[in-house]
Structure 1
Amino acid sequence: MKTGIYLVRHGETAWNAGGKFQGHSDIPLTERGREQARTLAARLSSLKIDAFYSSDLSRARETAEILAEPHQGTVYYLPELREINFGQWEGLTFKEIAEAYGELSTQWWTTPLTTQIPAGERLQQVVDRCTRAITDILNRHAGETVVVAAHGGVIRIIVGIALGLDLNFFWKLRLDNVSLTILKYHGSDKAILELFNDTCHLPDES
C-alpha cells in the first residue's frame, strides 16, 4: 500500500524576489506567487487528492488554499512544517549574513545540523519537528494521496531523510517556488522519490 506525498514549496514572496532569508517571518505571497500557485492547482485539479496540509505561515497557507480550491478540500495547518527559524538572520541576504556573521555563517553552510543561529534554530531541531509531522501524516493517511505545502528548507529535509542523505548538505538540493516534489511511501520508513523540483506547470520566463 503506497502513500503519495506531494510536496509543494510556497509561491513567490517579496523576500524571495529580494534574496532575503525568511524563516519564521510571516511574509505573504506576491501576486506573481498567487498566480504560480494557480497554475499548479490547474495541473493537480484532475487528480484524486485525499488531504491537504500546510505550514501555518501565510505564504504556505495561501498556496495550500489555492491548491485545495478545485477539490473543495480543507487545509490542515501544522506549525511543525514551518521554515527554519533564522532568528537574527531573517530579512538579510546571503551576502549580508556572510559579512556580518563571518565564521558562524561559514559553519552554517558546512555543519548546519549543529550550528546555532543567533535567536534561531539548529537544523537538527527542524529535522525533529518535520519528522514528527510527516510521520503523523503518514499514519493518518496510509494508502492515500496528500498535498503538503511548505518551505524550501522543510522539503529538503523531508526528501533528505527519505533518501538517507547527510543533511549537513541539504542546501545542495534546489527548490524553486511552487515546485512539485513527489515521494511515494511504502509504510512509514521506506520511500521512493518519483519527482523533484518539477516546475513544468510554470511559464518559461527566461
Structure 2
Amino acid sequence: MRTRIYLVRHGETDWNSGGKFQGHSDIPLSDKGREQAKRLAKRLKNVDIHGIYSSDLCRARETAEIAAKPHQLTVQTMTDLREINFGGWEGLTYQEITEKFGESYSCWSENPLMTRIPFGESLQDMVDRCSRAMQALILEHPGETLLIVAHGGVIRTIVGTSLGINMNLYWKLKVDHVSLSILEYHGWDKAILELYNETCHINP
C-alpha cells in the first residue's frame, strides 16, 4: 500500500534572515515565519491528512501546529527529525565559520557524510536517524497521507536518500522556507518524487 508524505520546511526565523547556522539551537519562528505558516495551512486545508509529525525544535513544531489547525490533528514530535547538529558552528554566519573553523569546514564541504562537525554530527549521523524515522512512519501508516514538518537538511536527506543521490552533494537540493515536497512510498524502499520545493502558496 502506498504512503504519501507531504514534506515541509519550517517557516523563517530571525537567525535564518541573519544568515546564522541554527542546527539544534531552538530558535522560534519570526513574525514572517508565522505568516508563512498560515499561508501553508491555507494551501493544505483541503488535503486529507491522517497524521502530522514534526521535529521537536520549536520552529518546526510551531509551523506544524499552525498547519494542523484546519485538520484538528495533534502534532507528534520526533527528535530524529531534527536538523543536523552544527555544534560549534551554531549561531555563526558562513563567514564567521570559515574564519574560525576553516579547515574543518573545508573538509565537511567536500565530504559531509564522513566529516564530523566540531561538537556536532556528521551528515551520515543525520542520514541514519532520518532513515530510521521515515521507516518507522511508513510502516506505521500504510495507505495514509502524512504531513512532516522539518528542516532544510532533513528534507534534503529524505529526498536525496529516497532518490539514490550521492549525499555528499546534498547541498545541491534547494529547500525554501515552508516549501512543499511530496513523496509517494510503495513500501519502505520504493519512493517516487511527485513534487519538489513548491512555494506558490507564499509566492503567488
TM-score for the superposition, normalised by structure 1: 0.97
Deviation at residue 133 of structure 1 after TM alignment: 0.4
Q: State the partner residue of 2:171.
A: 171
Q: Distance in 2 between matches of 1:60 and 1:100?
A: 29
Question: How far 1:134 moved relative to its partner?
Answer: 0.4
Q: Are 2:79 and 1:72 equivalent residues in the alignment?
A: no
Q: Distance in 2 between matches of 1:35 and 1:129?
A: 30
Name stretches of at least 5 consecutive residues in structure 2 with no aligned partner. Answer: none
- Give distance in 2, aligned partners of 1:175 and 1:96: 23
Distance in 1 (alpha carbons) for counterparts of 2:110 and 2:92:
19
Letter in 2 for 1:69: K
Aligned to 1:114, what secondary structure does the other structure show?
coil
Q: TM-score, structure 2 length as denominator?
A: 0.98
- Residue in structure 2 matched with residue 6 of structure 1 by the alignment: 6
Task: Tell me the SS of whatever aligns to 1:92.
Answer: coil
Moved more, 160-169 or 95-104: 95-104
Aligned to 2:125: 125
Q: Which position in structure 2 is the counterpart of 1:197?
A: 197
Tell me how far apart the structure 2 counterparts of residues 165 and 133 of structure 1 sit (CA, whole Å).
19
- 2:39 maps to 39
TM-superposed CA distance for 1:203, in Å, is 3.4
What's the CA shift for 1:157? Answer: 0.3
One-letter amino acid matched to 1:126: M
Structure 1 segments of 4+ aligned residues over 4 angstroms from their partners? none
What is the match of residue 22 of structure 1? 22
Q: Percent identity at matched positions?
A: 62
Question: Post-superposition shift, 1:131?
Answer: 0.5
In the alignment, structure 1 segments of 5+ residues that lack a partner are: none
Matches within 5 A, 1:88-99: 88-99=88-99
Residues 148-193 of structure 1: CA deviation (Å, up to 9, x unaligned): 0000000000001100011011111111110001101111110011
Deviation at 1:59, TM superposition (A): 0.2
- What residue number does 1:100 align with? 100
Q: Kindly provide the CA deviation profile for residues 5-40 of structure 1, in whole angstroms up to 9, marking residues without a partner as x.
A: 000000000000001100000000001101101101
Shift of 1:111: 0.2
Count of residue correspondences: 204
User: For residues 196 and 203 of structure 1, what CA distance do their matches in structure 2 show?
Assistant: 15
